[in-house]
Amino acid sequence: MTPTMLRQLWSLIETTQSNLLLKLDDASLVQWLLKQFKQQRALNHEEMNILNDYLNNRLSLIREMAEQR
């Protein structure tokens, strides 16, 4: 994953309403974030897999950040 992709992803997470990040279950949250990210940037299959794994591994952090807002 490129640094630009990481910045775009975390920007998306930070600008998403906290209540949405907190109310979705894990699988739905990952899918929602992937869908929103794909609207900003075209992704190939490998990038989608990498991003999916990254999000799954960072769900706790994403939820912690949302709770703190």
What is the chain's pLDDT, residue by residue, as a tens digit (69 residues)? 899 999 999 999 999 999 999 999 999 999 999 999 999 999 999 999 999 999 999 999 999 999 998
Q: How far apart are CA 6 and CA 66, in angstroms?
A: 18
- Packed helices 26-40 and 45-57: angle between N→C axes, nearest 10 degrees: 140
CB 12 within 8 A of CB 37: yes
Question: Exposure string (b/e) for 25-61, b if CB count within 10 Å is 16 or more?
Answer: eeeebbeebbeebeeeeeeeeebeeebeeebeebeee
The model's pTM is 0.90
